[in-house]
Chain A
Amino acid sequence: MSDLLAIEAVHGGYGTADILNGADLRISGPEIVVIIGPNGAGKSTLMKAVFGLVRVRVGNIRFNGEDITNMRADLVAERGLAYVPQERNVFPSLTVDENLDMGAYLKRDDGKRKTAIYEIFPQLRLRRAQRAGSLSGGERQMLAMGRALMIEPKLLLLDEPTAALAPRLVDETLEKIVEIRSLGIGVLMVEQNAKAALRRADRGVVMVMGRVRLEDEAHNLLARTDIADLFLGA
């Protein structure tokens, strides 16, 4: 079976020192895969590497069988990958509507997709004429995901989508992610709320010092006490 995304033995980083040290990861289809691991493990760096925002020195990244290693980010997006960075994930001076328009930059929208996004995130519709910079943390995260979905991606990369959210919004956001998967979109997400995320995920990977140390079905990871002690919190 060919993978949707295949990251193979990737080494790379920002300057001379590699942050990624042989990272391997595969996603086969519309599944939810959660990346957990300590701070500084290179989880965010791995996502940036997929989008050509961090240089891959050795190794390769394929999407739908095509080599996308070090490809320009806009061309990666064109191939059906969407990415929501952890911070700075909306255009603050653009309105909510215009942020969604930016998601439709590649594939023009006749209004249907935007309507669909507003159905998934009804709060956004109320703020459609408001500048994204004035939104709350939760609304911003929804807008960022909405913008990414406007691309009609096959795979969505989310970097800590619940990090800036009030506790009551964490579950709501994770449920939205399950809803997104049910649309046939794969989701690769980094999550600090590891337990809550793994409960809704298909698989989980543990990343330490720039490589994937462990990979298993989500329910297996949840059941392992050693993992729980190290990464899942009390």
Chain B
Amino acid sequence: MTDFVQLIVFGIVSGAIFALGGIGISVIFGILRFAHLAHGDMMTLGAYLALAAISALQLPVLAALPLAMIGTAATAIAIDWLFYRRFRRARPVILLISSFGMALVLRSAIQLIWGPGNHVYESGISIPYVLFDIRIKPDHVMIVGCTVAIIVAFHLFLTYTRLGKAMRAMSDDPDLARVSGVDTERVVVWTWAIGGALAAAGGVFLALDTQLNPLLCWNILLPMFAAAIVGGIGRPYGAIAGGLLIGIVEELSTAVIEPAYKPAVAFIIMIVVLIWRPTGIVRSQT
């Protein structure tokens, strides 16, 4: 029983990270209608930007996080401006492939700047809190707490701001949004800003939980896409539910099968959910 709860705790932590990446994948798909394969590497970039802030300014991780989010958001906007924008009217497969190219560009840039080896934010071990025999690391508390705060802020943005509503409207129907007076290019810029910022948070959290290396978040691209798809692609709230589901089931599966099979577990969840409810677990509103 204790083991079971312990695995759920780990599952919530990785679920939070999948959710942060999955939201971005889902929102980018909703607005721009393509699968952003560079999302994992964008998260990795965020993790390294935090590392740069931590080593250059001697900041704690929590203070480096907002800097990494801003830096990654700016990079995402710049990448869109320089590359993806040119393919706005192209078929989605063109964007898919160009985003794969961008994934390689980002990864190579990271390797060039920070080298291929491993890094950590802070060395030393932290003492876990023990609660009814469940061990909870302070880092995990921070990861889950920050993720909840970020998701609440994102929810308030989508629900109450003019731009947030425009974003939802555009993902419903881009032409109708334009006809209503929405400057859709401005919405696209904000989509990258939010996708990039959330990606950075996910990357920093994964790096905090493990170690930095240039393949850090490329390795979790599959479960993040599974989270977005399971939740109903284009629906960010679905990606949160999908992320948690996949994170928890993946961790629980390690009780019975090799951890190396985790990606397969994500894949199986995706297939099962899609058979059971083809539009994703969050109910379609149309």
Contact = CB atoms under 8 A, between A and B. Distances in A.
Q: With a 10 A CB-CB cut-off, give which of A51, A92, A93 has the most chain B CB atoms.
A: A93
A92 B285 contact: yes
Contacts of B171: 93
Contacts of B168: 91, 93-94, 98
Contact of B178 (A74, A98, A134, A147): A74
Contacts of A176: none
A73 B179 contact: yes
B182 A74 contact: yes
Interface in A62-111: 72-74, 77-78, 82-83, 85, 88-94, 98, 101-103, 105-106, 108
Nearest to A48: B175
A147 B173 contact: no
A88 B181 contact: no
Contact of A103 (B180, B183, B285): B180
B239 to A, nearest CB: 15
B179 A91 contact: no
Contacts of B88: none
B122 interface: no
B285 A105 contact: no
Interface string B162-192: 1001101101110111111111100000000
A101 B166 CA distance: 9
B286 interface: yes
A125 interface: no
A73 B165 contact: no
A56 interface: no
Nearest to A101: B165
A55 B184 CA distance: 18
Contacts of B162: 101, 105, 108
Contact of A78 (B165, B166, B181, B184): B181
Interface residues of A, number: 29
Interface residues of B, number: 20
A133 B171 CA distance: 14
A208 interface: no
Nearest to A108: B162
Contact of B285 (A53, A82, A93, A151): A93
A26 interface: no
A77 B285 contact: no
A73 B180 CA distance: 8
B169 A92 contact: no
Contacts of A113: none
A131 interface: yes
B180 A105 contact: yes
Nearest to A92: B286
A91 B169 contact: yes
B175 A74 contact: no
A86 to B, nearest CB: 12
Contacts of A133: 285-286
A133 B179 CA distance: 19
B181 A89 contact: no
B238 to A, nearest CB: 12
B183 to A, nearest CB: 5
Contacts of A77: 178-181
Contact of A85 (B169, B176, B183): B176
A51 to B, nearest CB: 6
A53 B175 contact: yes
A94 B172 CA distance: 9
Interface string B265-286: 0000000000000000000011
**7 shortest interchain CB distances as A-B pairs:** A73-B178, A106-B181, A77-B181, A93-B285, A92-B286, A133-B286, A91-B172
27 contacts: A51-B178, A53-B178, A73-B175, A74-B181, A74-B182, A74-B184, A77-B180, A78-B181, A85-B175, A85-B179, A88-B173, A91-B173, A91-B176, A92-B286, A93-B168, A93-B285, A101-B165, A102-B182, A103-B181, A105-B166, A105-B181, A106-B181, A133-B285, A134-B285, A147-B180, A151-B180, A151-B181
Given A74-B183, A102-B165, A102-B182, 7 more contacts: A72-B178, A73-B179, A74-B179, A92-B172, A93-B168, A94-B165, A98-B165
Interface of B: 162, 165-166, 168-169, 171-173, 175-184, 285-286
